[in-house]
């Protein structure tokens, strides 16, 4: 069994995530892609992260229409900071030795990999896959060899469509009352408005509901 593991803060999940995950699924002939919503992403502690139950609910809705996508709660349910090495160990335990795990990362994430918890172990626990992201095309993977010799040679690079959508920009747009239509699946957009997420009370001093949302 070939399993893709696509982790993220998903605050919120957007079409960039979904498109590259589907490209990876097809290119690598994965049986499924697990979307793993981060519990406490310790490298993003400088900003307030939306409650895990909301981020995961959006992921669940977003992946529902793809029979090969699945939402995983392993990180949300684990107390303490979220470390990918722990997630991969848990998945290995659950799926058994016959599963091949592919960790899917946007190329920008490789820049930060040396700051992750035991990054050298990632290269032993799974196959590493890089997907394109605007702004990171020129990344030199050889820096990974400082983490563990030969690491860069083990990364599979996929040329996926460049989707210039980011969760940070979506949050900014929502706080400014701008439209996010087509940047997230409609079910995610509905969820955001229904729960009043990302408003930050900056929209004309009034609350933005589904009815008066910028659609
Ligand atoms: P933020 O903007 O809040 O930092 P993000 O979208 O960069 O969010 P995550 O939600 O944690 O961060 O992203 C999960 C994974 O998806 C990461 O590996 C990231 O590199 C990748 N990713 C995010 N957006 C894109 C995109 N538009 N194209 C390709 N990969 C992406």
Quick check: CB of 48 below 6 Å from ligand 1?
no
Q: How far is the CA of 205 from the centre of ligand 1 (A)?
A: 30
pLDDT in tens, 68-120: 999 999 999 888 888 999 999 999 999 999 999 999 999 999 998 999 999 99
* Residue 213 pLDDT exceeds 60: no
Q: Which residue intervals of 3-142 are DSSP H helices?
A: 15-27, 52-63, 84-95, 107-112, 119-125
pLDDT in tens, 21-59: 999 999 999 999 999 999 877 666 668 899 999 999 999
Q: How far is the CA of 171 from the centre of ligand 1 (A)?
A: 13
Of 161, 149, 203, which is closest to residue 15 (Cα–Cα)? Answer: 161
Q: How far is the CA of 166 from the centre of ligand 1 (A)?
A: 6
Name the residue of 8, 112, 137, 157 whose CB sits within 8 Å of the most ligand 1 atoms, as the mutation to test its pocket. Answer: 8
């Amino acid at each position: 069994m070939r399993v893709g593991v696509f982790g993220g803060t998903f605050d919120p999940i957007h079409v960039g995530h979904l498109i590259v995950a589907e490209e990876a699924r097809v290119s690598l002939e994965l049986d499924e892609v697990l979307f793993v919503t981060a519990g406490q992403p310790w490298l993003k502690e400088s900003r307030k992260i939306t409650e895990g139950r909301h981020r995961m609910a959006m992921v669940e809705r977003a992946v529902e229409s793809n029979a090969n996508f699945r939402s995983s709660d392993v990180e949300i349910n684990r107390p303490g900071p979220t470390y990918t090495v722990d997630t991969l160990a848990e998945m290995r335990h659950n799926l058994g030795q016959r599963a091949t795990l592919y960790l899917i990362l946007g190329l920008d994430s490789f820049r930060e990999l040396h700051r992750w918890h035991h990054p050298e172990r990632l290269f032993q626990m799974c196959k590493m896959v890089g997907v394109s992201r605007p702004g990171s095309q020129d990344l030199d993977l050889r820096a990974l060899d400082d983490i563990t010799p030969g690491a860069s040679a083990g990364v599979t690079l996929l040329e996926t469509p460049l989707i210039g959508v980011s969760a940070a920009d979506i949050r900014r747009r929502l706080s400014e009352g701008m439209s996010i239509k087509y940047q997230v699946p409609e079910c995610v957009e509905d969820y955001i408005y229904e729960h009043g997420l990302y408003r930050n009370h900056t929209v004309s001093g009034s609350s933005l509901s589904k009815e008066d949302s910028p659609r």
